[in-house]
């Protein structure tokens, strides 16, 4: 069995963003040479997420609205975590959206459903953060 590891780095200029990173993960898969196995993709920061869903702008808007209702950014005084930072809402949004995804690799390709894509969700941007891509298989 082979193993491959690579870090992807993101520096989002806005506080929040959803970024389709499927092609970057596919690049890692090609680089790994692994044809059958599993890929783990996970955010290495507690205010960011990796998840799978459809790449459709209306859905992305709905996520933004829904997440802001669940964990509104303001007023920041509503959160105990906000002593020195104003990102408590980002921690909660990350918890809801998830830390990582695992995708099967079949015949050298990500084994997805029809509309599935991998996304990086940023909930406290404006600084450099990383995503781990770990691939194991043959």
CATH of the domain at 49: 2.60.120.460
State residue 19's pLDDT score: 98
* pTM of the shown model: 0.95
Residues 6+ apart with CB under 8 A from 41: 21, 25, 50, 100, 101, 102, 103, 118, 131, 132, 133, 134
Answer whether residue 90 shows pLDDT above 90.
Answer: yes
State residue 82's pLDDT score: 75
Answer whether residue 121 shows pLDDT above 90.
Answer: yes
State residue 84's pLDDT score: 72
Q: E strands, the chain, where?
A: 2-11, 17-20, 37-43, 48-53, 100-106, 109-110, 117-122, 128-137
Instruction: Report the mean per-residue pLDDT for the chain.
Output: 96
The residue among 128 and 83 whose pLDDT is bigger is 128
State residue 83's pLDDT score: 72
Domain around 127 = 2-137
Sheet containing 100-106: give its strands across: 2-11, 128-137, 37-43, 100-106, 109-110
> For the residues 112-123, what does the mean pLDDT come to?
97
Instruction: Count the domains in the chain.
Output: 1
């Amino acid at each position: 069995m082979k193993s491959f590891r690579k870090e992807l780095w993101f520096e989002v200029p806005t506080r929040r963003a959803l970024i389709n990173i499927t092609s970057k993960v596919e690049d890692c898969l090609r680089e790994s040479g692994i044809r059958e196995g599993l890929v783990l993709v996970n955010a290495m920061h507690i205010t960011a997420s990796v998840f799978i869903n459809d790449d459709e702008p209306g859905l992305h808007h709905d996520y933004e609205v829904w997440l802001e209702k669940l964990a509104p950014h303001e007023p920041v005084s509503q959160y105990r975590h906000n002593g020195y930072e104003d990102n408590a809402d980002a921690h909660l949004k990350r918890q809801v959206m998830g830390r990582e995804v695992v995708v099967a690799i079949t015949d050298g390709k990500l084994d997805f459903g029809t509309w599935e894509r991998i996304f990086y969700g940023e909930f406290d941007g404006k600084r450099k953060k990383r995503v781990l891509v770990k691939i194991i298989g043959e």
